[in-house]
Amino acid sequence: MSDTEISVEDIAAEPHRRMLEDCQLDGHVVEQERATAPIDQLDVPPAAMVVSTPDDAAAVLLDRDENYSVCGYNERGATAFGEIYLGLDAGDDYTRQSTAANAAISAISRKDAFELTLREARKVFADDPRATPDLVRVKVLAAICKEWFDLPDERNVITGPIRLSAERPVRCPGDYALPSNLIFLYEPREPTLSAAIGRELRAATKTAVAEYRESNTRPKGRLSRAIFDSFDTSEDDLLSRTIVGVMIGLLPTVSSNLQNTHKLWIANDNEIFRKLRAAIKEHSDTDTFARASDVLSIPMMHAMQRDPMPPEVWRTARKAHTIAGKEINPGDTVRVHIKAATNADLAAGKTDVFTVFGGDRSKTPHPTHACPGYEASMGIMLAYHFSLLEA
């Protein structure tokens, strides 16, 4: 099997493999605690149509003819952190719930995110010059969320890596991974535990929101405040669910792509890592962001194309149509094989990671659910890798 021939089984297994790798950050696997709540909604059929070429993936994501729905996301979300605009199709409800949040996320520039991330990474190394990449990743992502979402507050949500447990208090960034897998993967691993963690994230965030109401204050984070201000005081549950949902969209994607890229760069006795470190040192530009962008952007995107996260997304057919030469009927599931599509682009010499983010939101038209955090995410990833290279 070639690099571009990735099986459906590979897609389903990938998040579980990464989850177990994450849980060994301290040299041991965290004890698993199984939640017992049944999730009948996850009784999905074993077969689904898979689209895997760049053109077919783009067609499903853009959905010009309104052939597809993301309603399945909210069916699963209802068992976990709740229904949010991530699981709504284009329409009045989607517009009302998403506009303020998406605008605030889109307003974070790549350079803004880069500078915040690099500052926090340098703090980690100042405290511990021997800090591991995993420790830097966890602490930096938590610090970014504190800046943007006011969480972790180290009361309701604490800083911590992924674990296979739904015990309180919930952890940032770790506990956002499994609920994300529950939503985006057609065949999620640990669905019952993932849903239980999602419910705990919702409860913790509702408590934080209630504290603002009780003290008659507003969040300080640029994203939490925008979301907070966009909902009526009677909608605190929806407000809380939306904050969780935005964090679930950001954290696991960025975290896993950071890990995958670093793993590729340190392979073969740090071959790529050593070359990039030398290139950073030799670059003449005194502007750190410019140096990082010039040296790291293309290699980073190539690494993401090779091993993207998420490796797939899925949609439910709204009406009969044809895709990739196959007849699709209403209610059928269509899986967008992101990894196969990005691998194909890479093999063809095309540098493009927009498929990883659900499409390019800057274009007209653009997919409804194209990630508004593309620039922010790219800035975080550039700064993280730069911090490891300069350490």
Q: 321-375 pLDDT, tens per residue? A: 999 999 999 999 999 999 999 999 999 999 999 999 999 999 999 999 999 999 9
Output the DSSP codes for 84-97: -GGG--SSHHHHHH
CA distances from 327 to 9, 59, 177, 266, 309 (A): 23, 15, 34, 44, 28
Residues written for the chain: 391
Q: How far apart are CA 377 and CA 129, in angstroms?
A: 25
pLDDT of residue 47: 57
pLDDT of residue 113: 98
CA angle, corner 141, sides to 345 and 377, nearest 5? Answer: 30
pLDDT of residue 333: 94
Model confidence at 102, pLDDT cuts 50, 70, 90, reads very high
Per-residue pLDDT tens digits for 135-179: 999 999 999 999 999 999 999 999 999 999 999 999 999 999 999
Per-residue pLDDT tens digits for 230-253: 999 999 999 999 999 999 999 999
Tell me the two tokens of residue 204: 């913790």
Per-residue pLDDT tens digits for 317-331: 999 999 999 999 999
Tell me the two tokens of residue 353: 């990671």
pLDDT of residue 29: 31
pLDDT of residue 15: 46
Q: Across the strands, what pairs with 117?
A: none
Q: How far apart are CA 174 and CA 161, in angstroms?
A: 4
Helix and strand numbers, DSSP H then E, in the chain: 14, 8
With a CB cutoff of 8 Å and minimum separation 6, the contacts of 98 are 85, 88
Per-residue pLDDT tens digits for 64-77: 999 999 999 999 99
User: How crowded is residue 280: how many other Cβ atoms within 10 Å of its Cβ?
Assistant: 18
Per-residue pLDDT tens digits for 275-306: 999 999 999 889 999 999 999 999 999 999 99
Q: If phi over 0 gives left and psi between -120 and 50 gives alpha, with beta otherwise, what is residue 163?
A: beta
CA angle, corner 86, sides to 135 and 307, nearest 5? Answer: 45
Q: How far apart are CA 136 and CA 120, in angstroms?
A: 9
Q: For residue 220, which of 148, 319, 125 has the smallest C-alpha distance?
A: 148
In 3-state terms, what secondary structure has residue 262?
Answer: helix
Q: For residue 171, which of 188, 151, 190 has the smallest C-alpha distance?
A: 151
pLDDT of residue 19: 45
Q: How far apart are CA 50 and CA 335, in angstroms?
A: 5
pLDDT of residue 48: 74
What is the overall mean pLDDT for the chain?
90
User: How crowded is residue 190: how many other Cβ atoms within 10 Å of its Cβ?
Assistant: 19
pLDDT of residue 1: 37
With a CB cutoff of 8 Å and minimum separation 6, the contacts of 58 are 341, 355, 359
CA 15 distance to own-chain centroid: 12
Residue range 8-390, CATH number: 1.10.630.10
DSSP letter, residue 309: S
Letter for the amino acid at 208? A
High-pLDDT (> 90) share of the chain, % = 86
When pLDDT is averaged across residues 110-132 and rounded to a whole number, the result is 98
Per-residue pLDDT tens digits for 18-64: 544 444 333 323 332 223 233 333 444 445 789 999 999 999 999 99
With a CB cutoff of 8 Å and minimum separation 6, the contacts of 247 are 145, 149, 151, 172, 176, 201
Tell me the two tokens of residue 313: 């997304």
When pLDDT is averaged across residues 374-383 and rounded to a whole number, the result is 98
Among 1-15, 81-95, 110-124, 277-291, the least confident range: 1-15
**Domain segments of the chain: what residues?**
8-390
pLDDT of residue 391: 86
